Each structure stands twice: as structure tokens, then as C-alpha cells.
Amino acid sequence: MSDEIRIRKGLDIKLLGEARKKISKITNDKFAIKPADFNGVFPKLSVKEGDGLKAGSPLFFDKYRQNIIFTSPVSGKVSEIYRGEKRKILEVRIQADDYMNYESFGADDPLKLTKEEILQKLLNSGIWSYIRQRPYSIIADPKDRPKAIFISGFDSAPLAPDYNFILEKQEKAFLTGIDALSKLTAGKIHITTRSGQAVAIAFSNAKGVVHHAVTGPHPSGNVGIQIHHIDPIGKGEIVWFVNPQAVAIIGKLFLEGRYNASKIIALTGSEIKEPQYFEVINGIQLSPFFKDQPKPTEVRYISGNVLTGTKVNKNGFLGFYDDQLTVIPEGNYHEFIGWALPRLNKFSFSKSFFSWLNPGKKYRLDTNLNGGRRAFVLTGQYEKVFPMDIYPMQLLKAILARDIDQMENLGIYEVDEEDFALCEFIDASKTDMQAIVREGLDFIRKEMTG
């Protein structure tokens, strides 16, 4: 029996280019792990260019938490340590072998292992990096004992992948991952699914967990929204969260005794001729996805979704936590008095256009901001898409003022960048809210932990 949670505030942005339920395989021999994908990590290299690797071999570790290591998703050799300004490590690039060789971590039944043995296996294999925590949305600290673990079984973002479809053939791996996670908390494991949809067997057969059915518009699939409505985070409390495919990767570690970094991602967007699902290895170079795919227009390649994803180039690499690629038109044009034209083909939350008369319409939206940046405008709109008992504008201003007391009182420990993505989307001031929230989280973490 599932508890039902109703999310009333939010906004579903309907876009063209949803992935159809077909899985193809795509291969490449170039991969990369990007330290920038891991908030709060200061990488120290364990390898140099030319070093040979197996899948599961260490690449780098966190300077301040040296037991948290990051390992290669494939076997091969380190082709390049790609650096930016001040020699900052941007990517550890890998040239893959023709045949996969794995580091062996030993297959085990997690229910027969102690918590310490499970922790050590996860840390040694590098799979620990898939487990993150709130507050701060950083990689979890293995020394902590979280009050709960959350697994959001659906994603409500535009064109998001369907985890019920993705996990159809991964039931055993997922349930084994749940067994491993159950040893890491004295609290509950919460699994959320979308109300009214058929649920994957992997979710419904999970034992010893609390099931929740969630209804409502985006951001109902955000784990932070779910935590807020199920088990809110207070000061000093910690909650861990894990992506459903990451749970299956954890399970495969115990079933196979190796780091199996394969996963299924959705290739989406209006500029893709055949949106569908692909089985890949994490960190793959993206160029094969876009070969002969986009229409002959200038496009934006995004690792992730249109609200929270990262802009990449055609030869970039898949983000570590991303299960989606999106391609939409670039919006590098100026439209004279575009806001005053009574059109039906543009989406508007504020009903500036008559498109609101057709709520089921799907749009081919581009990246144009449709206006310039300006001071915060008090519109009262943010609260309509922000389903937390938090004042979003006041919290943003407290972050900008670096007022720690106000930040704490206004709920900084409960939020993440993605929770402000819709506020940013409808913002008349064109404020980069997600960047502000990340700066606030990094600032308060530094102040609280030293």
C-alpha cells in the first residue's frame, strides 16, 4: 500500500521530442570522468597520461576525503588529463580497449555482510560516488548515519526518461542494491513512483521500504520536493538519495563483483530525428549520438534536461549523474516587440500569449531568454511553481547577503539548484537562480564544516 502525496504547485513544460520506448546500443572508444560533476570535490590524481586501466581502476580521489575515490568506467588507458585555467582538472579522458577487463571486488550477498564490509566494497569500487546527501547535494560521507534514504522512481522534468521502462530488465540488480542500502541506515528507505502509472516490478517488489505515490506537475519528481513532503530535513540532519539506475549499479557490484557502469539514457529533443533510448557506459563521448541526427539548424546540446542540464559541445561527454541528452534550437536572435505579438506557438506561464488556450500542445522551444537581465521584480509568480513551505525570493536574497541566520531560517538545508529551476524559467528578471543557490550551499557548508 502506497501513501499518496499531492503536489499542487508546479509547471509541466510540454516539449517535442520525447524518446519512444525503444532501446538501441551505441558504442565509442572515448570516455571521460569530469570532477566538476561532483559538488565539493577537490580532485587529486591517482594516474598519469598513458597509464593502463581496468574498469574499476582508481582515477582520482577527493583531497579532503581520501576514502572517496573515482574509478574508470571502462578498461583502456588514460589518453589525456584535460586541464583548464590554473591547471584545474576538467576531465580525465580514457581511450577504451576493444574488450572490457574489470577489477574484481568479489561477488557477495549484501544481506550476509556487515555495514562496514558493504561500505568498503562501495568505496573501493568507486560506486560510493553515486550516493549523495541533502543538505548540500554532495557525495555522502560514509561516516554519517542518515535518518533516511530516498529513491525517486520517476523524473517529472521536460522529456525526462521513464524509469519504469528503463528498469524492466534490471529487477534483480535493483533489489540487490536495495538490500545493500538497507544496511547503511537505521531509518527508512523511501521509494516514490508517479500516481496513476504502471509501476516497474523492480519498484513494486522492493521489500522493507516505504512506497509513496506522487501526483502533480513538475517538480514533483525532484527528490528534494519529495523529502520536504515526506521527511523534512532540519539543521544537523542528513538524508541520502540515490538515482534508480545507480541502485541497480550498486546491485550489480554485489551480483557480479565488478563496477558495471552500463546504463540506459534517453536521447530527446525537437532537433533529434529519432528520439529513443540507448544503452551506454557512463562517461561516453557524445559524438555518435548526434551523427546525422540533428536537423540542419544551429542547436544546443545538453547533457541532462533543458531546465538543469549542462551545455556540452558535440564531442563532449555524458555527465556522471545524467540519464538524458537533449537537443533544442539555439535562440541567438533578437525579436522586435515579440512580447506584444498575439501568437499561439510560444509557451508562456503568465498567459502573455494565447497558447494557454491549448494546454495539451507540445512546443519546439529554443534557448532565447526573451529579454535582458534586470533587478528582481516582485511578481508573486515564484510561489506558484515552488511546492515547498519556503519563500524562494527571500531565500535567494539571504544567500546574496551571506546572512547565515536568515538562510537557515528560510530553509537552505532543504533545497538544491534543481528545486529553483522552474522559478528561474518563469523569472521576468532573468536571474541565474540555480547558480545563486549553489553558491549559497557551498558557502554555508564551508562555514558549518570549516
pLDDT one digit per residue (tens) for the chain, 450 residues? 568 999 999 999 999 999 999 999 998 999 999 999 999 999 999 999 999 999 999 999 999 999 999 999 999 999 999 999 999 999 999 999 999 999 999 999 999 999 999 999 999 999 999 999 999 999 999 999 999 999 999 999 999 999 999 999 999 999 999 999 999 999 999 999 999 888 999 999 999 999 999 999 999 999 999 999 999 999 899 999 999 999 999 999 999 999 999 999 999 999 999 999 999 999 999 999 988 655 657 899 999 999 999 999 999 999 999 999 999 999 887 666 655 566 667 777 776 666 666 777 899 999 988 777 788 877 889 999 999 999 999 999 999 999 999 999 999 999 999 999 999 999 988 999 999 999 999 999 999 886
pLDDT of residue 403: 97
Q: Is residue 55 part of a domain?
A: yes
Q: Is residue 15 part of a domain?
A: no
Which helix (H) or strand (E) is 210 found in, with range? strand 210-215
Beta bridge partners, 319, equal: none
Q: Which amino acid, 176?
A: T
Q: What percent of the chain has pLDDT over 90?
A: 84
Closest Cα to residue 91, out of 412, 310, 367, 327? Answer: 310
Q: Is residue 56 part of a domain?
A: yes
List, as one string, the DSSP characters of 370-416. Answer: SS---S----S-GGGS--SSS-HHHHHHHHHTT-HHHHHHTTGGG--
| 69, 216: one domain | yes
Beta bridge partners, 44, equal: 61
Last residue of a domain, one of 256, 285, 307: 256
Last residue of a domain, one of 229, 256, 283: 256
pLDDT of residue 210: 97
Q: Is residue 275 part of a domain?
A: no
CA 357 to chain centroid, in Å, comes to 33
Q: Is residue 373 part of a domain?
A: no
Q: Is residue 368 part of a domain?
A: no
DSSP 245: H
Beta bridge partners, 186, equal: none
Beta bridge partners, 240, equal: 133, 149
pLDDT of residue 129: 98
Q: Is residue 434 part of a domain?
A: yes
- Nearest 5°: the CA angle 71, 54, 128 is 25
Sheet holding 43-45, edge to edge: 43-45, 58-62, 65-71
Give every CB contact of residue 54 below 8 A, 6+ residues apart in sequence.
Answer: 72, 75, 101, 102, 103
**141 exposed, middle or buried (CB, 10 Å; 0-12, 13-18, 19+)?**
middle
pLDDT of residue 45: 98
Beta bridge partners, 4, equal: 213
Closest Cα to residue 73, out of 374, 308, 280? Answer: 280
Q: What is the pTM of this model?
A: 0.95
Q: Is residue 119 part of a domain?
A: yes
Buried b (16+ CB within 10 A) or exposed e, 217-255: bbbbbbbbbbbbbbbebeeeebbbbbbbbbbbbbbbbbb
Given a contact cutoff of 8 angstroms between Cβ atoms, the answer to whether 182 and 251 are in contact is no
> Kind of pairing, strands 210-215 and 188-194?
parallel
Given a contact cutoff of 8 angstroms between Cβ atoms, the answer to whether 396 and 436 are in contact is yes
Distance CA 56, CA 73 (A): 6
Distance CA 434, CA 450 (A): 24
| 42, 186: one domain | yes
Range of the domain at 135: 3-10+29-256
Map grid coordinates 549559497 to a residue.
440
Last residue of a domain, one of 211, 229, 256: 256
Q: Give the chain's domain count.
A: 2
